[in-house]
Amino acid sequence: MTAAKLPAECDTKDDVRAEIDRIDQALLNLFAERHGYVTRMAEIKTDPHEAFDPARIEAVIGKVRQLSLDLDLDEDQAELIWRTLINWNINYEKGIIAARKRAK
């Protein structure tokens, strides 16, 4: 494997795309790690209604927006990504909790 190149060290589209592919892999590894905790959360919560936790969601979004600003990223883009992720997680958790209750 070739060493990572800084943006300014990339001379071709292929150079840039190799770095984007490397970063996508790293991001997916982190999403997979986060997903493991969401699965665990679904095991800990006891009622499907607990899956949607508005206070926690707004706290996460607030943190993500601030971290984005600190990194000079677009905070609206970050919020959109996180809301999509969290909305998906809510349904995922609801499904796990409801199935467990039905099986009892």
Ligand X SMILES: O=C(O)C(=O)C[C@]1(C(=O)O)C=C[C@@H](O)C=C1
Query: Could you give the CA distance from residue 64 to residue 40 in angstroms, rounded to a whole number?
Result: 22
By CB under 6 A, which span of 3-11, 20-28, 54-62, 73-81 interacts with ligand X? 54-62
Q: How far is the CB of 54 from ligand X (least distance, A)?
A: 7
Nearest to 93 by CA among 57, 56, 44: 44
Out of 18, 60, 61, 98, point to the residue binding ligand X (CB under 6 A): 60
Q: How far apart are the first and last CA of the chain?
A: 50
Q: What's at 63, amino acid-wise?
A: K
Q: Which is nearer to ligand X, 90 or 98 (CB)?
A: 90
Q: How many residues bind ligand X (CB under 6 A)?
A: 12
Residues that bind ligand X (CB under 6 A): 38, 41, 51-53, 56-57, 60, 86, 89-90, 93
